[in-house]
Amino acid sequence: MMSRGDKIQTFDGEGRENLPNVVKNIKNYMRGLISNGIPYPVKVIFFTLQGEGPMLAYNQLSGLDLKIIAVTFPATYTIKLKTGGTYPPDMPEKVRKFFDGVEIPIIRARLPFDDISGAELHNKEMAMLKSALSVFGGSMPLAIQAVLQATDSGHIPSGEEVIVATSDTALLVTASTTKDFLDKTNGLVVNEIICKPRNFNISRPQPKPSPILQMPSPFSEHPTILEGEVSQTGRTHLVDE
């Protein structure tokens, strides 16, 4: 079994600014396996929007003789803008041509957990599944779906250990098809978390804590005098400071 025993590497927050460190952590992980005489996974899947992750991995991991696979959103995917409009993101043509030249396949199809029009029960179940996976990080559902897509499309055999990465997360996973995803025998397994965000500043931003009320110390040199009156119950009701 592939394992280095090192602790999980964490980032301060979520987002694409972590991508160079994700690739660096994958490289260090591979080196750790090699130095211990452990076979390393020969396939790396990247969920990517514009191809930046697979491109960086191709440049940084070229000496490891890896098969890199790019998984992206379907052609019908659109991003909602703050202004209220939408736009369909697309991988640049020059990037697609480069990937074609270096034999990095691009998988672009409906994601396994996407909604289906008219299937309300299915959509609720998928929303719950994505929400549950998101407790490990906002991009965790995309990482899992990338493995399912790569396996469904025949680029990875079910049961093979592969590395899957997003812009801020990398995992060692035993691959599975979407059909067998939750199967106890043939289902997908997250074997190791290589790196992930520690704080979910994008997917689950935390509200700022309320200010703590500072009470005067009874040992202060200048104690605060509280004026009040004693009620019939014997309790003091503060009037002013």
- On whether residue 219 sits in a domain, the answer given is no
The amino acid sitting at 175 is: A
Q: Give domain status of residue 123, yes or no.
A: yes
Measured CA to CA, the distance from residue 168 to residue 174 in angstroms comes to: 20
Q: How high is the mean pLDDT of the chain?
A: 88
- CB within 8 Å of 3: residues ≥ 6 apart: 38, 192
Domain tally for the chain?
Answer: 1
- Report CA-CA distances (Å) from 234 to 119, 226, 228, 237: 64, 16, 12, 10
Is there a contact between 25 and 170 (Cβ–Cβ < 8 Å)? yes
The domain of 75 spans: 9-197
Of the candidates 26, 56, 25, the residue with the CA atom closest to the CA atom of residue 40: 26
43 falls within a domain:
yes
CA distance 142 to 45: 11
* List of the chain residues with pLDDT < 50: 1-2, 225-228, 230-241
Neighbour-count burial of 64, counting CB atoms closer than 10 A to its CB (0-12 exposed, 13-18 middle, 19+ buried): middle
Classify residue 224: in a domain, yes or no: no
**Token digits of residue 239:** 């009037």
The answer to the question of residue 137 being in a domain is yes
pLDDT at 88: 83
Rg of the chain on CA atoms, in Å:
25
- Return phi, psi of residue 142, to 5°: -70, -40
**Residue 3 included in any domain:** no
Taking the CA atoms of 73, 104, 56 and 23 in sequence, report the sign of the dihedral they define.
Answer: positive
Is there a domain that residue 93 lies in? Answer: yes
Bridge partners of residue 107, in order along the sequence: 71
At 236 the pLDDT is 40
Number of other residues whose CB lies within 10 A of the CB of residue 206: 8
Whole-angstrom Cα distance, residue 1 to residue 174?
A: 11
pLDDT in tens, 169-228: 999 999 999 999 999 999 999 999 999 999 998 888 877 666 766 666 666 555 554 444
Nearest to 40 by CA among 189, 145, 188, 172: 172
What pLDDT does 214 receive?
65
Is 4 a domain residue?
no
